[in-house]
Amino acid sequence: MPLNLPNKLPAIELLKKENIFVIDHSRATQQDIRPLRIAVLNLMPLKITTETDLIRLLSNSPLQIEVTFMKLKSHTSKNTPVEHMMAFYTDFEEMRSQKYDGMIVTGAPVEQMDFEEVTYWDELTSIFDWARTHVTSTLYICWAAQAGLYHFYGIPKYPLEKKMFGIFEHVKLEPLHPIFRGFDDVFYVPHSRHTEVHKDDILRSPDLTLLSESPDAGVYMVVARGGREFFITGHSEYSPLTLDTEYKRDLGKGLPIEMPRNYYLHNRPEEGVVVRWRAHANLLFTNWLNYFVYQETPYNIEDIK
């Protein structure tokens, strides 16, 4: 089934060029199927890029999905036109009384700040708390994963000596877990971050299960509450050129940035990117939607507890 998206969302035309099937809201409402309702709290500065990345992966499911983009009242995006935010995003306060089958919370460029120093921390944590009673399963990505682990379970984050930047090998610690169905024994994930959570802290918490880690990038995936919360430290949703754009941006600014590891063919930017993570990114989102959203959500969405 296709994705049910807001009319004229820029991602629709971008993804059609990639031969990805999406439809706008006006066509989807003609189908007599209750779509899965997915809320996306997009905290990334380049909203349209992140919207497109997430929709690309959500579209690979046979399930019909209705996406609603949420925005914070306590934060104004500086890198996305106001007109775009007004047309395609909804304030959390307007969504508070509704329930959703699934939710995705993205990363944010605030990881080197203490959590409580983030200007929208109070509103964000109120959304985290709301999700526990209004959403079947929530996927926390990168900084949002660190924020969720800290807010709910007291797991601290630690600064890295240098940016974790590149494509890294990962292994499954719970290979029979449904989130890994179809995964290879070793799979690749992009990382781009300055902080990390430690394995020992995760293992000490009786409420958390470490599902996957990387020999180089550390903790990758943690699950809680029987799959109602997933915390993912990497960026499986990244498009092929995202790290290339970040690398060249930082070089242009004269920032201390190393070449992304395991990313360019023969480690030569001029030879292009080797995409190693696309298949597992699609499996990750499809498995989450099928086994932890669709299979677990009640037919009447108001019955979510």
**DSSP state letter for 53:** H
Answer yes or no: 235 catalytic: yes
Q: Residue 85 — very low, low, confident or very high, per pLDDT cuts 50/70/90? A: confident
Listed as own residue / partner, the contacts of 215-222 with beta carbons closer than 8 Å and 24 or more positions apart are 215/168, 215/169, 215/171, 216/168, 216/169, 216/261, 217/164, 217/168, 217/170, 217/189, 217/191, 218/164, 220/170, 220/189, 221/179, 222/145, 222/149
The better pLDDT of the pair 33, 71 is held by 71
Distance CA 137, CA 297 (A): 9
Tell me the pLDDT tens digit for each residue of 201-256: 999 999 999 999 999 999 999 999 999 999 999 999 999 999 999 999 999 999 88
Choose, from 66, 177, 237, 280, the residue flagged as catalytic. Answer: 237
> Does the pLDDT value for residue 84 go beyond 50?
yes
Asked if 102 contacts 137 with a C-beta cutoff of 8 angstroms, the reply is: yes
Select which of 51, 134, 142, 280 is catalytic: 142
Q: Answer yes or no: 151 catalytic.
A: no
Q: Give me the amino acid identity at 276.
A: R
In the block, residue with structure tokens 């983009």? 69
Q: Write out the E strands in the chain.
A: 3-5, 22-24, 36-41, 65-71, 89-91, 100-105, 135-141, 158-172, 186-196, 208-214, 218-224, 229-232
Phi, psi (degrees; rounded to nearest 5) at 112: -85, 0
pLDDT mean across residues, the chain: 89
Q: Read off the tokens for 245.
A: 């754009």
To the query of whether residue 302 is one of the catalytic residues in this protein, the response is no
Q: Which helix (H) or strand (E) holds 57?
A: helix 47-58
Find out whether 197 and 221 touch, Cβ atoms under 8 Å: no
How many whole angstroms from its chain centre is CA 186?
Answer: 21
Residue 94 half-sphere exposure toward CB, CA atoms < 13 A: 10
Assess whether pLDDT exceeds 90 at residue 305. Answer: no
Q: Compute the distance between CA of residue 105 and CA of residue 114 in angstroms, rounded to an integer.
A: 18
Top mean-pLDDT range of 13-22, 77-86, 186-195: 186-195
Other CB atoms within a 10 A radius of the CB of residue 107 amount to 25
Mean pLDDT of 289-296: 92
| Domains detected in the chain | 3-297 (3.40.50.880)
The active-site residue out of 170, 191, 235, 280 is 235
Residue 61: pLDDT band by 50, 70, 90 thresholds? confident
pTM of the shown model: 0.89
pLDDT tens per residue across span 118-156 = 999 999 999 999 999 999 999 999 999 999 999 999 999
pLDDT tops 90 at residue 42: yes
Angle (nearest 5°) at CA 1 between 4 and 132:
60
